[in-house]
Amino acid sequence: MGQVKQQIKSLIESLGLGRAADKARFYYQYLQQKGKINAFKAAHPGLPLPTPFMIYETFRLDYAKYLETGKSAAVSIYEEVSPFIELKGKSILDWGCGPGRVVRHFPDIIPTAQVYGSDYNSEYVNWCHENLKEITFTQNQLVPPIPLEAAAMDFIYAISIFTHLSEKMHMAWMNEIYRLLKPGGVFYFTTHGDITRKNLLESEQQQYDAGTIVERGNVKEGYRMYATYHPPAFIRQLVAGKFEVLKHRPGKAQNWGLEQDVWIIRKNG
């Protein structure tokens, strides 16, 4: 059944209908949850909230979960990297911040940190700039660089960003992360690892097992429908020479779905 589902999904994408199907799914969910959305907004007057499509496109259409999981993710990142770097008073960048689900919580968690966010979607960046005043936001393009000075960051994190990029962009962006980090700076990022192998077609599984990155690129690169899967051996080869791998935590099956792998690496020098 899983292979049939993946074959149907692959067919939709190969026909160039992935984006249209995603939009249709959004409108269907929005009509179902419109009452719940309005009730949440009424219960939280004055709280900056992105548009429904923004949180659907970057997470899922649930404002309560947008806030709850954003805070828990920020706390989890802080706790997981604490053995490797002290973040108080340091510079922190959320690369691929979207509409601020995670980064909005860092000023409360680490009040002394200088917090930055960057995204290639101008609507997200504009919304964040207007609504999350304690954070400095900048726009990047699909291709690096981010308009920040070299060696400006102590810590950078990227949640489910490489999962929507081609192999070529993996190499380009890892070089950009290296440029942005201070010597000894730390990078936290997530990937589609072994636990997600079951979502691949048989031919894709063979490619994955050979240690080759798997790309489903029949939609525009960077969109949520563009999916990339990462054998751990590929990641280790990608970062070799410029970074030290401090931690690799393979994803597990949870009651809500499949976790992504977590990687924590340190810039050499």
Dihedral, CA atoms, 258, 251, 178, 226, nearest 10 degrees?
-20
- Of 117, 264, 248, the C-alpha closest to 187 is 264
How many domains would you assign to the chain? Answer: 1
pLDDT of 217: 80
Q: What is the CA radius of gyration of the chain?
A: 19
Give tens-digit pLDDT for 138-181. Answer: 999 999 999 999 999 999 999 999 999 999 999 999 999 999 99
pLDDT of 256: 87
What CATH number does residue 134 fall under? Answer: 3.40.50.150
Report the chain's mean pLDDT, rounded to a whole number: 93
Which residues of the chain, if any, have pLDDT below 70?
1-19
Strand runs (DSSP E) across 43-198, as ranges?
91-95, 114-119, 136-139, 153-158, 181-191
CA distance 63 to 53: 11
| DSSP label at residue 145 | P
CB atoms under 10 Å from CB of 29, counted, come to: 15
pLDDT of 234: 98
Q: What angle do CA 154, 50, 63 make, to 5 degrees?
A: 100
CB atoms under 10 Å from CB of 56, counted, come to: 22
pLDDT of 12: 44
CB atoms under 10 Å from CB of 167, counted, come to: 17
CA distance 202 to 198: 9
pLDDT of 8: 42
Q: Which residues contact 227 (CB under 8 A, 6 or more apart)?
A: 163, 164, 192, 215, 216
The model's pTM is 0.91
Q: Domain limits at 225?
A: 2-267
